[in-house]
Structure formats: C-alpha cells, structure tokens
Amino acid sequence: MKIIRNLILGLVASLTAFALTAADNDGFVSVFNGKDFTGWDGPVDNYDVKDGAIVCKPGKGGTIFTKEEYADFVVKLEFKVPAGGNNGLAIRYPGKGNTAYEGMCEIQVLDDNYEKVKGKIDPRQAHGSAYGMVAAKRGFQKPIGEWNVQEVTVRGSTIKVVLNGTVILDCDLSKVDMETVMAKSKHPGATRTSGSFGFAGHNDPVEFRNIFIKKL
C-alpha cells in the first residue's frame, strides 16, 4: 500500500509541477526570473541563484521578499530541502523584523525528519505550520533530494497549504488563542492585511523554484 501511495503522490506532484510552468495562463504571474533577484529586496547577498532556483547560502539567512505587496493571494512553488533543512515562507511581510511575528505569519519549510537530525520541535514548527500558532499535518513530503510542489492560499485571516496534492493546513488565524501559542509569544502581525511574500532562511541550503503568485 505504501508503494502505491508513493506512486500516486509522485504522479500528482509531477502533474502539478508541469502545471506550474504554465501557471501564468490562469492568472498566475512569475515573481522570480530564475536568473537574479530582480523584483526582490532584503539580504539577497545571503542567497544564490543556482540552476534556476533560489538557494539560501549555508550559514546565512534572513528574509528576502518581493518588492510588490499582496493582500489575498495564492502562491505556487517548488521546494527542496536538505536533511534537517529549515526555511520558511514569509506571508504579508512588512519588510523588516521577524516574519513569524511582524508578518501575518511564517509558513514553515522544514525537513519532515528534522527531529531525527537536529532534535525535538513543537508540532507548530513542523513543515507547513503557521509558525508557533497552528500545526500542519505531517508525512506528505517527498524524500530528501526530490522537489516538492506546494500551494498556499491566503484569504483574509485564513491560510490553506496544499503539499504534493494533500491539504496539510487549513486554518483561520483570527480564531487562534494567542494565550496558547508556542512559548506564549504573541504575534502582532497576525492581523496584517497585506505585505510582501518571501523566504525566511535559517542557515540551510533550502531551494525554491517556479514561483508564481495570483492576486485574489
């Protein structure tokens, strides 16, 4: 059964990846040209462009972000993580500060086997989670070294994350009890209604490519 499940997930991911190349035909616009950081801001020197992908330099990080801002939107992209890799998607980022708190949230990009490599984490730190606030489902990431396909829909206070064809997060941040969030550290940006989209690097060479956004 596991082999069949993996074959199905692989087929879904392959079809979705193909669709990404033509995403702009459905109102999606590419926000990364695959060559340089035109249209991006932040500490871009901490990142490389390699084989058409944005790669965080080992030991570097910080949040790079689109110069254009978005309110409600859908982003489609592919990502690949190394063993123990950690990064994040900056949602409605204001251009400064920690996106997990100053932005609407940081959607975690994390190796599903992170705990085997680097140690225990809170469930709200797992891949696809709204960092520190809402935990995503686990077990739908592809093996290390393979590209994953992810779609994130942000509408009002809601966020939905689809990983390789499976919904792993569907939440409303307005309903999160901020007294119960991880470490009880409040998220002042959770109610932010617009901002940039970006990547929050954390020292690991996580890769992103085929990045398309559609405004809603």
| Alpha carbon 47 to chain centroid, angstroms | 16
Give pLDDT, residue 103: 97
Rounded distance, CA 181 to CA 154, Å?
20
How many of the other CB atoms lie within 10 Å of CB of 115? 14
pTM: predicted TM-score of the whole model, two decimal places: 0.89
Domain ranges of the chain: 2-215
Give pLDDT, residue 183: 87
| Alpha carbon 136 to chain centroid, angstroms | 12
Give pLDDT, residue 120: 94
Look up the CATH number of domain 2-215: 2.60.120.560
Provide the β-strand partners of residue 41. Answer: 65
Amino acid (1-letter code) at residue 103: G
Rounded distance, CA 208 to CA 154, Å?
19
DSSP state of 141: P
**The two structure tokens encoding residue 35:** 């060559």
Give pLDDT, residue 13: 46
Q: What is the mean pLDDT of each run of 10 residues along the chain (216 residues)?
A: 49 49 76 98 98 97 98 98 97 97 98 92 97 97 96 98 98 95 92 98 97 98
